[in-house]
Chain A
Amino acid sequence: MTSADPTRGTYFITEDDLRALTGELLGAGTEVIAPVALDVCASPSAIASSACLRPGVKPIDIEYRALESAAQLNLGSGLPVLSLKQYFLPEYEALCCWRQHGTEIEIEAVPTEFAPRVVLAAKPCDSAALAVVDKVMNWDYADELWNGRREATTIVNLACPVVDESCFCTAVGTAPDDAKGADALLTPVEGGFLMEATTDKGRALVEAHAARFTAEEGAGGAGARGRQAAEERAAARARAAANLEIDAASVRDWIDTHFEDPLLAALGVRCNGCGACSSVCPTCHCFDIVDEEEGIGKGTRRRCWDTCQAPTFTLHASGHNPRDSQNPRYRQRINHKFAIYPLKFGEVLCTGCGRCTRVCHAGQDLVEILQAIDIAARRREAVSP
C-alpha cells in the first residue's frame, strides 16, 4: 500500500483507518463533530421512554456531537435530529457583555476567531445548507461569528442513501452525494470508503493524514470501487427524485406572482405556529437579539434562534402586526425559501432534508405543498407559454 498523493482527487480509506484518523485529530486536541448514536435507554431519559421496556429494537437518537472518542463516530445512515446549523449558529451565543460604571458602560467583546475543527460524516443536505446560508450571512454585513466558524471548520460529508419518503434534496438543486458546502465526500464502498477532497481544506486533511489513505486506482473512479460508488450514488439520487420532482425555477416565479393565490394564502390553517420546523431546519437562520441582565448593572447581549412562525416575529412596537395570522406566517416560510431567497441570492433556501415535515405533528407536509405549487406553476405555463 502506498500513501496517498494529495494532488489526486480520490482516495480509499478503511473504516479502521478513518477511526484512527479521528483518534489522531482528537489526540492533537482538534474538535471533531460527527453523528453519534445516543442510546436513549442508557441515559437518564430512559425513565421517560416506554420504548426502553419494549423487547427488540431500542430507541437510538442520532445527534451531531463533539466526539469524545473515535469509537463514538457513527457512520450509519440515520439523520441527526438537529441539523449541523447548531455548530455555526448556536441556539444561543453571546455577542458582547456589558458592565455599567455609573454613567459609563464598559463593553466586553467576544472572540470571533475559532480553533480549527473537523466535521466528519456530515449529511450532504446539512453542508449544502451552510453554503446557502453563507450568502445572507455575507450580504450587507459580514457576520463575523458565522464566518469565523465556517473558516475554522473542515467538513467531510458522507454520501447518504436517502433517509425516507420525506427527503427531496434533488428537487432543490442538491443531491444525497453532494459535497456542496463541504470540503470532501466519503462514499461507502466494499471494505471502506472512497474519499474525494473537493477543496484545499479537504486536501489539507488528506495530506495531514496521508498514511491513512491510498490513492484510488483508475482516475475518475474507473476502478471497481469507483464503479460501485457511482452506482450506489446514482441509486440514491433516483430514490430522492422519486419522492419529489419540481421545477424550482417555475415554482419560484409562480410564488413570486401569486402572493394572494388561495393555494398560498390559506396554507397555515392546521399549522400551530410552533416553530419546531424552523428549529430543526438547516437553512432557517433567523435570530433574535436579547439583552439578559445578570445582576445589577451587568449582563450579556445574546442572539438566539427565532422563527417567522411566531406572532412576535413581526410584531411592531406600535402593536401592529403585518403578519397577523398563521396563514401569512406560513406563506412567509414558503415564500422566503422558494421565491424571495432564490430571487435575491440565486439559491433555494431549502436543501430538502425533510426535517420540517417529519417534526410537524400537525401534518404540514412540505413535499405535498411543493407538489401542489409545482402543479399550479406547470398549469400556468401550459396556458400561457
Chain B
Amino acid sequence: MSDTVTTEVPVYAGVAELRRIARELLDAGDVRVIIGWEHARRGARPVFITDAADADRLIFDARCVHNLVTYLNPRRDNVAELGKIGLVVKGCDAKAVAGLLREAQLTRDDVVLIGVRCGGVLEEAELPRAAPLGPENVAPRCFGCDNREPELVDHLLGESQPEPPRPLTTIDERVAALDAQPLEKRWAFWTEQFGRCVRCYACRQVCPLCVCERCVAEKSRPQWIEASPHPRGNLSWNITRALHLAGRCVDCGECERFCPVGIPLSLVNRKLQQIVAERYDYAVSDDPEHAAPIGDYRLDDKQEFIK
C-alpha cells in the first residue's frame, strides 16, 4: 500500500493535447460542452466544460474509470440541452458509443469523440491521486482489453500505453470458479447476491446501453417484474437486466461500481458475453457496422433449443 502511494505516476502525455483540443472545439463552436474528467475533493469525477477558459480542469489518469457515454443517452434532456457534446472516451467507452449508433440512438455527427490511448484503469475513481497499476488495484476488465486505442474517434490522444497488468484473479477465472460449482452452490451464491439488491436501479441508470424510454421493471399493467426487493422480485430483475444487455454490454463495469450493496454484476455480464461469443461468434467492438446478435437474424443461427 505505502509504496503504491508514494511512487510517482508519470503524467499522461495526452492531457495537454486534451485541454488544447477541448479549448479549440469550444472556441470554434464545434461543440458546446466537453464531457471529460476532473479532479475534485474526493478524487476523479465527470466534468462538463462549457467555457474554454475552464479546459484546464480536464484530466486523464488511471482514476478516470467512468464510462461517460451514459451522458449521451438521448433521454438525458438536461445534458442534451447543453448543445453538441465533445466526449472524452477510452476504448471500452467507444464500444458503448458504437452500441448507441448501432441501435439508432445517436448519429455519428451528434458527437465529437476525443479518444485517449488507454493503459487500463484502477478499480476506484475516488482516490486523491492516480496510483501505478498493479495486479491488486487494476480494474479486472482491463486485462486482455482489445480496444485500448479506439478507432471510432475524431481525435486520438497520448502515446501508446503498456498493457494493463493481470489482476489477482481475472473475471474469466472467477466465472470459471463459479461454473465449477454444483448447481445448488451456484444457486446459493446468486440468491445471496441478489438477495441484497435494494432495487435502486443504479445499475440501470448508469449503464450507457440501458436506454429504454420505459424500463420493463416499471411496467405495472401487466407487471412483468415484481417491484419490491424481495428475493423473487430481485431475481427476476437482475436476470432480466443481464439478459437485456447480452451481446450489448461493453464490460465497462459501471453497473457493478455503482451498485450500492456490491453485487458482482460483472460476473453475470461476463458469463453472458461468453455465451454470446460461443453461440454467435460475436464480441462487442467499436465498429457500429458490426451488428449485434440481438439485432441480427441469420439462417445459420443455432436453434437446437427449439424443440
Contact = CB atoms under 8 A, between A and B. Distances in A.
Contacts of B264: 45, 47-49
B77 interface: yes
A326 B78 contact: yes
A367 B204 CA distance: 26
Interface stretch (A185-193, A204-212, A286-294): A286-294
A96 interface: no
B107 interface: no
Contact of A274 (B48, B125, B258): B258
B229 interface: yes
A79 B42 CA distance: 18
B76 interface: yes
Given A44-B192, A367-B41, A53 B169 contact: yes
B229 A54 contact: no
B260 A81 contact: yes
B16 interface: no
B229 A48 contact: no
Interface stretch (B218-226, B277-285, B293-301): B218-226
A328 B202 CA distance: 18
A44 B189 contact: yes
Given A45-B262, A327-B78, A365 B41 contact: yes
A299 to B, nearest CB: 10
Contacts of A365: 40-42
B177 A272 contact: no
Nearest to B260: A276
Contact of A362 (B46, B77, B136): B46
B48 A270 contact: yes
A82 interface: yes
Contacts of B228: 91-92, 290, 292, 302, 304
B245 interface: no
Interface string A76-90: 000001100000000
Nearest to A324: B77
A238 to B, nearest CB: 20
A368 interface: yes
A359 interface: yes
Contacts, number: 146
Residue among A91, A270, A272 with the highest chain B CB neighbour number at 10 A: A272
Nearest to A302: B228
Interface in B3-62: 40-48
B189 A279 contact: no
Contacts of B41: 165, 365, 367-368
A241 B233 CA distance: 42
Contact of B202 (A44, A91, A275, A324): A275
A304 B227 contact: yes
Given A276-B260, A361-B126, A292 B227 contact: yes
A312 B219 CA distance: 11
Given A45-B193, A276-B258, A362-B46, A92 B136 contact: no
Contacts of A61: 262
B205 interface: yes
A362 B227 CA distance: 25
B47 to A, nearest CB: 8
Interface in A3-31: none
B207 to A, nearest CB: 9
User: Most B CB atoms within 10 A — which of A273, A276, A293?
Assistant: A276
B257 A47 contact: no
A279 B200 contact: yes
Contacts of B223: 290, 292-293
A323 to B, nearest CB: 11
Nearest to B206: A272
B155 interface: no
Contacts of B140: 50
Nearest to A280: B260
A276 B202 contact: yes
A148 B66 CA distance: 43
A288 to B, nearest CB: 7
A230 to B, nearest CB: 31
Contacts of B216: none
A324 B136 CA distance: 42
Interface string B72-114: 0000111101100000000000000000000000000000000
A357 interface: yes
A363 interface: yes
A325 interface: yes
A47 B174 contact: yes
B239 interface: no
Interface centre among A57, A270, A325, A361 (most CB of B within 10 A): A361
Contacts of A82: 198, 261
Given A273-B205, A367-B41, A54 B136 contact: yes
A278 B200 CA distance: 8
Contact of B174 (A48, A273, A280, A324): A48
A368 B199 CA distance: 28
Contacts of A359: 260
A305 interface: yes
B178 interface: yes
Contacts of B43: 363
A357 B174 contact: no
A312 B204 CA distance: 14
23 contacts: A44-B193, A45-B193, A49-B264, A82-B261, A91-B229, A92-B230, A269-B82, A272-B70, A272-B206, A275-B200, A275-B201, A279-B200, A279-B260, A290-B220, A292-B226, A292-B233, A304-B228, A305-B200, A325-B76, A362-B45, A363-B43, A363-B44, A365-B41
The 10 closest A-B pairs by CB, nearest first: A363-B45, A48-B264, A274-B202, A92-B228, A274-B205, A325-B78, A53-B168, A325-B77, A276-B260, A290-B227
Given A272-B258, A325-B76, A361-B206, 9 more contacts: A50-B123, A50-B167, A166-B42, A266-B78, A305-B200, A310-B201, A312-B218, A362-B46, A363-B44
